[in-house]
Amino acid sequence: MVNITLSDGTIKHFDHSPTGLDVATSISEGLARNCVAAEIDGSLKDLTLPIDHDATVRLITTKDAEALEILRHTAAHVMAQAILRLFPEARLTIGPVVEEGFYYDIDMAPLSEDDFSKIETEMKKIVNDKIPIRRREVAKAEALDFYRNEPYKLEMVQGLADGTISFYEQGEFTDLCRGPHLPHTGFVKAAKVMRVSGAYWRADQSKAQLQRVYGTAYFDKKELKAYLHFLEEAKKRNHRKIGEAQDLFSFHDEAPGMPFIHPKGMVVWNALLDYWREEHSAAGYVETKTPIILRRTLWEQSGHWENYRENMYTTQVDEDEYAIKPMNCPGGMILYGTRPHSYRELPLRAAEIGLVHRHELSGVLNGLFRVRAFHQDDAHLFMTPDQIQSEILDLLHLEERMYSTFGLGFQLELSTRPEKSIGTDAQWEVATEGLRRALDAYDHGYVVNEGDGAFYGPKIDLHIQDALRRTWQCGTIQLDMSLPERFDLNYVARDNERRRPIMIHRTVFGSIERFFGILVEHFAGRFPLWMAPVQATLLPINDDLIPYAETVAGQMKARGLRVELDRRTESLNRKVRDAQLDRVPLIITIGAKEKEASTLSVRTLDGKVHYGISHETFFDRVGRHIQNRALDFDIF
């Protein structure tokens, strides 16, 4: 007798060793059809594995989070099988699941996009055949013999410990794999080959170059279609293309990974920083500025020279070694230490928009998202232990307020003490509980990443969510128990004793450049009125109206609006179309009727045209819209 305890506490009795599929079938045929695996005593297993002992079983269906990874694991095998049918000389290496899909590294002749449809056609045949997928366990010696003519798989098996090794078989295809997998290939109903790139075996440039074939898979064709639509939308929003089209920024070989911000880009940049300064001033911050190049001894004191040296740019000045700062923190420590501090002035909140440089490998540089020179909106907060919770709570409200101004949602993660860390158990307990209590009081919901904190303290990471529901880690709140110790920072407590302050590192935007790029894609270049590089374009319908249009433009500029006057001899339709392509929020047409009545005809970015707007109404509505930093274009 085998007793199976289900997730809801129900116990089912079997007079034989049931498989997960047997358990599902005993509940309902519909459940069995949708099951893909079973979690047996906390471990994911194949649905066809016999359960020979009393166990707790959770049935994994196509609706469960774990199912998608299992599907993609199987889809990688289906793709590899299809490729071997088409290219028998190919040699397989590894095929893991990755975010948004999977890939397989294969030693073969270069593939092109023309090959993708052939591979997908062969994959569909394999899927339609609903080939059963079976696990087979063999001794290491048998695995070595099986792969004697497969150099990559042979090397992988040789690196495994002695003992049982698992294979997975589907028809003529066999692969070295731990599993679990779907019951049969028919579950892979919606799969697509996405792209191909080069990769080195074992990521070693001295070894063979392979073809890395990427794919993705979903249980439902609608989900795949939605994902492909998402990719098309993301492509349209590519910040590098929009940045070039709108003349916002550029990159040049003379400074790889170091963006050049153009005049129109600086308008957006300054709008961001003006808002940042306004919010921080209201929240009781002071702004500081520290040098960009600092002596090596400082970086040795901070620990960066030992732990971060390979990412730092160095130089020599007067025979002393210096480094360009990769972060602002050590300079902030020097500032705090320039004078004595009392508990009465804590918490002390010091913010800095600091230019930092980090040596990133050229292969990972990616527009504004991954650069070598960028500005961090750092802040260093110094406080007493009993102020941790209230300060964290205030920070969370500040970050929420600032993100919501851009229409960005966010998720929270609390990362706790890692294996390698500094500080006492008591210090970590105070720091972690301070963060946890603040998060509980904030009541926004969060996940805990056990052991993923920094070596110097626990942290909260904020992952913002853009218009396409992509997440980006921007804001962070980190408690640091290292730098105050290294720099011998202190304050005079209420009892007149010197004590170490609790210190928090904190960012909202993170990298200003990266946040700029995120906003370009979030808004698809259609910046809200308060941020737009050009807020209004005036289009006189003929040359006779240009002088009047110049007068109107002057009035708008006097009110602080960023206005351009289109004097070109192009047709009005062409001018309107060009302004729309430039994502100008207000396209204002001026004809004889508008001049006579002292009104404006205004086309907004939501596609609506508003006629007969008086100048007074225009300035009133537009002014309030900008002052409120509104996101929509419902102005009139």
CATH number of 40's domain:
3.10.20.30
The C-alpha atoms of residue 617 and residue 636 are separated, in whole angstroms, by 8
Which residues, in sequence order, are bridge partners of residue 355?
375
Active-site choice (153, 380, 436, 575): 380
Give the sign of the dihedral formed by CA 49, CA 54, CA 55, CA 56: positive
Going edge to edge, which strands form the sheet with 134-139?
134-139, 164-170, 173-176
pLDDT over threshold 80, residue 238: yes
Tally of domains within the chain? 4
CB 538 within 8 A of CB 563: yes
Going edge to edge, which strands form the sheet with 320-324?
293-295, 320-324, 314-317
Instruction: Say yes or no: 514 and 413 in one domain.
Output: yes
Instruction: Say yes or no: 264 and 389 in one domain.
Output: yes
Cα 501 to Cα 345, 484, 555: the distances in Å are 12, 7, 53
Rg of the chain over all Cα atoms, to the nearest angstrom:
31
Instruction: Say yes or no: 123 and 210 in one domain.
Output: yes
At 573-621, the pLDDT tens digits run 999 999 999 999 999 999 999 999 999 999 998 889 999 999 999 999 9
**Cα–Cα nearest to 260, from 371, 180, 99, 122:** 371
Instruction: Say yes or no: 353 and 280 in one domain.
Output: yes
Looking at every residue in the chain, the average pLDDT score rounds to 93
CB 381 within 8 A of CB 349: yes
On the question of a cis peptide bond just before residue 347, with omega within 30 degrees of 0, the verdict is yes
Instruction: Say yes or no: 183 and 209 in one domain.
Output: yes
The CATH number assigned to the domain holding 187 equals: 3.30.980.10
pLDDT over threshold 80, residue 31: yes
The C-alpha atoms of residue 41 and residue 56 are separated, in whole angstroms, by 5
- Compute the C-alpha angle 527/528/529, nearest 5°: 115
Residue 632 lies in a domain: no
Instruction: Say yes or no: 369 and 466 in one domain.
Output: yes
In the DSSP assignment, the letter for residue 186 is G
At 119-154, the pLDDT tens digits run 999 999 999 999 999 999 999 999 999 999 999 999
Instruction: Say yes or no: 617 and 475 in one domain.
Output: no
Residue 528 lies in a domain: no
In the DSSP assignment, the letter for residue 28 is -
At 297-321, the pLDDT tens digits run 999 998 888 888 889 999 999 989 9
Instruction: Say yes or no: 432 and 573 in one domain.
Output: no
Residue 231 lies in a domain: no
The C-alpha atoms of residue 470 and residue 227 are separated, in whole angstroms, by 12
The C-alpha atoms of residue 497 and residue 376 are separated, in whole angstroms, by 35
The C-alpha atoms of residue 187 and residue 127 are separated, in whole angstroms, by 7
Residue 270 lies in a domain: yes
Active-site choice (170, 211, 246, 376): 376
Examine the residue annotation and report whether 473 is marked as an active-site residue of this protein.
Answer: no
Examine the residue annotation and report whether 505 is marked as an active-site residue of this protein.
Answer: yes
The CATH number assigned to the domain holding 616 equals: 3.40.50.800
What is the pLDDT at residue 420?
80
Examine the residue annotation and report whether 376 is marked as an active-site residue of this protein.
Answer: yes
Residue 169 lies in a domain: yes
Residue 573 lies in a domain: yes
Burial class of residue 275 in the structure, from the number of CB atoms within 10 Å of its CB (0-12 exposed, 13-18 middle, 19+ buried): middle
User: What is the pLDDT confidence band of residue 222, given thresholds at 50, 70 and 90?
Assistant: very high
Active-site choice (304, 375, 459, 583): 459
What is the pLDDT at residue 307?
80
H helix or E strand, kind and range, residue 336: helix 329-336
Active-site choice (35, 177, 329, 474): 329
Domain residues for the domain of 376 are 249-290+345-522
At 62-119, the pLDDT tens digits run 999 899 999 999 999 999 999 999 999 999 999 999 988 999 999 999 999 899 999 9
Mean pLDDT over residues 6-11, rounded?
Answer: 90
CB 82 within 8 A of CB 128: no
What is the pLDDT at residue 422?
75
Per the listing, tokens 């349209």 go with: 236
At 354-389, the pLDDT tens digits run 999 999 988 888 999 999 999 999 999 999 988 988
At 418-459, the pLDDT tens digits run 888 777 888 888 889 888 999 999 988 899 999 988 877 899
Residue 332 lies in a domain: no
Q: What is the pTM of this model?
A: 0.79
Tokens for 113?
Answer: 């996009």
Out of 522, 553, 569, a domain closes at 522
What is the pLDDT at residue 74?
97
Instruction: Say yes or no: 502 and 602 in one domain.
Output: no
Active-site choice (105, 377, 378, 582): 378
The C-alpha atoms of residue 304 and residue 331 are separated, in whole angstroms, by 13
CB 192 within 8 A of CB 181: no
Instruction: Say yes or no: 82 and 36 in one domain.
Output: no
Examine the residue annotation and report whether 375 is marked as an active-site residue of this protein.
Answer: no
Determine the 3-state secondary structure of 344 from DSSP.
helix
Per the listing, tokens 């679990």 go with: 180
Active-site choice (304, 358, 436, 522): 358
Strand 2-5, strand 55-61: pairing: parallel
The C-alpha atoms of residue 396 and residue 405 are separated, in whole angstroms, by 14
At 491-513, the pLDDT tens digits run 999 999 999 999 999 999 999 99
Examine the residue annotation and report whether 41 is marked as an active-site residue of this protein.
Answer: no
Mean pLDDT over residues 142-168, rounded?
Answer: 93
Cα 157 to Cα 6, 108, 202: the distances in Å are 37, 21, 14
Instruction: Say yes or no: 390 and 460 in one domain.
Output: yes
Q: Following DSSP, what letter does each residue of 254-321 receive, concatenated? A: TSTT-PEEPHHHHHHHHHHHHHHHHHHHHTT-EE----SEEEHHHHHHHTHHHHSGGG--EEEETTEE
Out of 16, 42, 61, a domain closes at 61
H helices of 350-424, where? 388-405
What is the pLDDT at residue 234?
87
CB 633 within 8 A of CB 620: no
Active-site choice (505, 506, 514, 575): 505
Instruction: Say yes or no: 87 and 173 in one domain.
Output: yes
At 509-551, the pLDDT tens digits run 999 999 999 999 999 999 999 999 999 999 999 999 999 999 9
The CATH number assigned to the domain holding 255 equals: 3.30.930.10
At 617-635, the pLDDT tens digits run 999 999 999 999 999 998 9
Residue 99 lies in a domain: yes
Q: How far is CA 81 from the centre of its chain?
A: 33
Which residues, in sequence order, are bridge partners of residue 295?
322
